[in-house]
Amino acid sequence: MFKVCGDCLIEEEYKNGVKTIYDFLIKIGIYPKLKGFDLLVYAVITVLKNPIYIHSITTTLYPTIAKAFEVSVACVERNMRNAIETAYNGGKLQEVANKLYGGNFKKYEKPTNGEFISYMVSIVKFLV
């Protein structure tokens, strides 16, 4: 019924979406060893379940994730930002996202956490 994502549980109905997210994150250079990996997966699934959360990231989404992973809100934001910066600085974000998934990431414009989560939600909706 549930699939474990880090220390949190994700409902089985989102299994294909989780696989899509995992594959995308690994392709762009965000690996499971990064703390932000599981946080990003959980954020995307949470927004898929409750689309309104994308409009209140700092007041609703981050606290929800922080509670699920038993960490602070600042830790959630920082670890997600670090994971996105890892992909951005490695150069794979623009290459993979723009060529394979129709992204529009510019070379010198790192996406914010919200932009990245929103983009991943659209990928999952399109591919699953």
Whether the full predicted model's pTM is greater than 0.85, yes or no, is: no
Given a cut of 60, whether residue 79 has pLDDT beyond it is yes
**How far is residue 96's CA from residue 116's CA, in Å, rounded to a whole number?**
14
Q: What is residue 2's predicted lDDT score, i.e. its pLDDT?
A: 33
Tell me what pLDDT residue 19 has.
83
In this predicted structure, the answer to whether residue 70 has a pLDDT above a threshold of 60 is yes
Give percent of the chain above pLDDT 70. Answer: 75
CATH code that applies to domain 2-127: 1.10.10.10
Cα–Cα dist 75/102, whole Å = 30
Pairing state between β 2-5 and 8-11: antiparallel
Q: Return the SS3 of 11.
A: strand
pLDDT above 70 (res 7): no
CB atoms within 10 A of CB 22: 15
pLDDT in tens, 30-58: 999 999 999 999 999 999 989 999 999 99
In 3D space, the residue among 89, 98, 105 whose CA is nearest the CA of residue 30 turns out to be 89
Residue with more model confidence, 5 or 67: 67
User: How high is the pLDDT of residue 110?
Assistant: 80
Which residue reads 């019924």 in tokens? 1
Residue 107, pLDDT above cutoff 90: no
87-100 per-position pLDDT tens digit: 888 867 767 766 66
> Token match 């599981």: residue?
38
User: What is the reported pLDDT for 119?
Assistant: 85
